[in-house]
Amino acid sequence: MIVILYVAALIAAIALLVIAIYLSKTLKSASQTMNEVAKTVEKMTSELQGISGEAQQLLDKTNSLLDDVNGKVAKVDPVFDAIGDVGTSLLGLSQSVRELATLATNKVSTNEKKVAQAISVSRSLLAFKDKLKANKTAKQAAKEAEQESNL
């Protein structure tokens, strides 16, 4: 029975030794992995510092460019205000011309009959004048013919 105890103790010792060996290998592998992770983190930290420095420079340049653009836009704003005022003035002028044209068209339409009558009367007067002239010329020609025949 003592022998069984020694054999059981020996088996337990061998089992503990096997567990210790596997645990040792696992810890060694975990240690190597942790070392690689630490190296990777160091590399990333140094690269991130470089990138963050460049990003800060880019932000500084962007801010100065934005300030420059805002200053130039502020200088151009009065020009756009003036253009807007010119557009408003042109709109008012256009409306005034349109109203004047409408008024003139309406006046011409209302006075169209009067104008037609005035043209008709002036034509009649011109025709009457031409008839008087023709009569005068005919009378003068008759008078001249009579004087020639008397001679």
pLDDT digits (tens, 9 = 90+) for 62-89: 999 998 888 887 887 787 777 777 778 7
Number of alpha carbons in the 13 Å side-chain half-sphere of residue 134: 6
Looking up tokens 């005068």 gives 136
C-alpha 74, offset from chain centre:
18
Say whether pLDDT at 20 is over 80.
Answer: yes
Say whether pLDDT at 151 is over 80.
Answer: no
Which range marks the domain in which residue 99 is found?
1-114
- Predicted structure pTM score: 0.37
- The answer to whether position 1 is within a domain reads yes
